[in-house]
Amino acid sequence: MNTFKKYLGIVWIILAMAISYYFIGIFGSKLTSGKQDDLVFGIIIFFILLPLIVTGLAIFGWYALTDEYED
């Protein structure tokens, strides 16, 4: 189980990067569309959720990879 937890850390780091790529690629245009509802949504995604998920998940993955969550 410890080995599984450790190597799953790579998945979390990749997931963080994938989310980052997806958010920027798919939702990037929302900030510049000129519509108020798009702007509100874009701000929520880019300035709140994206940094939180990407940074947090990457650190979590790194900790898993370095055996911090070993039993």
What phi and psi values does residue 66 have, to the nearest 5 degrees? Answer: -100, 25
Candidate list 20, 41, 46, 50; residue touching other proteins; CB under 8 A: 41
What phi and psi values does residue 70 have, to the nearest 5 degrees? Answer: -65, 145
Task: Count the site residues for other proteins by CB under 8 A.
Answer: 24
CB 38 within 8 A of CB 30: yes
Shortest distance, position 9 Cβ to other proteins, whole Å = 10
Residues of this chain that interact with other proteins (CB under 8 A) are 4-5, 8, 12, 15, 35-37, 40-41, 43-44, 48-49, 52, 56-57, 59-60, 63-64, 68-69, 71
